[in-house]
Chains A and B, each alone.
Chain A
Amino acid sequence: MLTFSEIILALFLLANLALAGSGRLTHAIRLVAAQGIAVGALPLLLWDWQSAGIPECRLFIIAAVNALVKGVAMPMLLGYAVRKINTKRELEPIISFTLSRLIVFAMIIGSFAIAARLHIHETVASELAVPVAFTTMGTGLLLIAARKKAVTQVLGFLVLENGISVFGSGLLIEHGIIVELGILLDIFALAFILGITIFQIKRTFSSTDTDKLNNLGDTHLMHPQRHHHRTHA
């Protein structure tokens, strides 16, 4: 079972690389969905079935809800949003796909280095889980920072959350079911609100390009043409 979890984690890394290089929105959403399902399954995969026996049903519930929310509901929500706002299906990169891949690759190396500094010595799985978590989080942040569309930023955020979940399940950190569900609910609600906001942004700005979302700031004096304090007639 442990080897299986290792394979899953390795696939996670590959998914990150793929996400960094993915040029199509639907493709990226599918990758995130796959990651979500894997995250849901991870606690069960990491469970020490031989010695600890059959886990409590709590674990199953969490795994199921996790997989459902992260692997199904949220990607569907995003896909719906993409269709609804009728945006172009390309991810518009600020950093090119190749460079993004290289960065993720560098992150993988970096994550292993950081993990080594942290002295993890519990399970083999966790030894891999921590760097994978780091990389996934990094990829998420990269997607947020280096892609133009608002939808992509939500996507990146989901990847970031996936990374944190990997970490949590990799180290078998137990929060209790309420907290676990609370966290999930929060993230889901967040994704939901973000989705709604994207609609509103689309309606108000007639674009979801985040380049249009930079009217607020402190550079008015340097760009006087952008100086528009709200004055209603």
Chain B
Amino acid sequence: MNIISIIAATLLAPLFIGITNQTKAFFAGRKGPGLFRLYADLAKLIRKSCPRPEHSTWIFASAQPIALASVLTAAIVFPWNGPASSSLSLSASAALFFYLLGTGRIFTLLASLDAGSAFEGMGSSREVQFSTFLEPIIFIVIGFLVLFSGGTSLASLLSGASTAAWTDNAVPIALAALAFYVVFLSENCRVPFDDPETHLELTMIHEAMLLDTAGADLAFALYGSALKFELTAAFLAMMILPRFDSSIIRLLAVFGAVAAIAIITGIVESTMARLRFLKSPLALIGAALIASLAIFFALYR
């Protein structure tokens, strides 16, 4: 069961990106690239060779596989099946999950610096700034979940609350979810913070770091970000969803919720303009305040 859900998750990941893009196309009145576009892209890219910048080193060569490996590991430790997950997932700490995502980030960062391009440097410098602000918000949210659920492992945090507890804590949960949604947008380089569609522009963050990445490496990078999108969305989904007794229903519910989040993200991206860079940290600090508010609600209810 566990392996099946992990495999399902890894296979489904590009689909959710497709859902978001389709939603955006719908709002823009376009036909859109189709839900399965990313699969095709990946299949094409994986078979291409990877030209590398002249001055790059083993860091550049190994960064994308390592980055993807870390996201995959995060997918492995993620408790897809709630209490019925594998013992590894059950015991894993939330800190491990997010630090694994961080490992991926630092290698992407280093690779972009290795290329020695001014644009990639710019992207990495921004990435560094945003991830710094994200980290505390994530841990405030985790702290809230710990307080709420009483457990410390990722699985117990995301096991979902009983209906009574859920209704009692609707406000703090909603606040925490809102804060985490901001984190989700920033972490996955979505619109108010970054624009995944705008390769080759001075305004981008994540994609800028991949300017010199090509071929299979680019496939790894794209797939990694899709998987990260799915994982963080699943985290958000499991925060909100109540407790389910059956694993399968639970898994389906999670994927359904992730799809919903993908659609919402598409809507958000279609309706919002990108923030100015100087404003972005302020938005993240706002999210931190929202998350803290959730804790106060939970503590002094």
Question: Per the CB under 8 Å rule, do A and B touch in the complex?
Answer: no
